[in-house]
Amino acid sequence: MELNRGNSSFGTVKTANNSPQEESVNSPARSGCWVTVFGFPAAASSFILTHFSSYGTILETKTNPGSNWLHLRYSNKIEARKAVSKNGQILGGSIMVGVVFATIEDSGEPELIKPR
């Protein structure tokens, strides 16, 4: 699969049969199984991780100490979609989180997908 990012918020994905297909920048086809959860107090990281593990098997996490974000890699795209569907929801009665698909850049590190 090959991706032409261009300057818009959509990329052209070439599938196995080489037919172009439009993909939103926030689609799982662009990201695999990585999602980024953000906007929570750093002290709530453990709560957030526990909460999001209820949507599927988390294979890997990435963050920085004291950060208000987590990159989570789920075992499949369906689980990742479940997590992203929680974008903008309030957890624990007082913590609103953002949840978006992430992508793995050439560095091998997950990165938030941003319109280009």
Residue-wise pLDDT tens digits, 21-75 = 444 444 444 457 999 999 999 999 999 999 999 999 999 999 989 999 999 999 9
pLDDT score, position 112: 57
pLDDT score, position 79: 97
pLDDT score, position 49: 96
Which is more confident, 61 or 110?
61
User: Tokens 């920048």 label which residue?
Assistant: 25
Name 25's Cβ contacts closer than 8 Å, sequence gap at least 6: 9, 10, 11, 113, 114, 115, 116
Nearest to 32 by CA among 53, 3, 7: 3
Report whether 3 contacts 20 (CB < 8 A): no
pLDDT score, position 113: 52
Q: How many CA atoms lie within 13 A of 4 on its CB side?
A: 9
| pTM of the predicted protein model | 0.67
pLDDT score, position 28: 46
pLDDT score, position 103: 74
Q: Which contacts qualify for 17-26: CB closer than 8 Å, 24 or more apart?
A: 25/113, 25/114, 25/115, 25/116, 26/84, 26/100, 26/101, 26/113
pLDDT score, position 109: 64
Q: What is the pLDDT of residues 66-86, one digit of tens each?
A: 999 999 999 999 999 999 999
> Does domain 26-112 sit in CATH 3.30.70.330?
yes
Spatial separation of the C-alpha atoms in residues 13 and 22, rounded to whole Å: 6
Cα-Cα end-to-end distance for the chain: 19
pLDDT score, position 7: 31
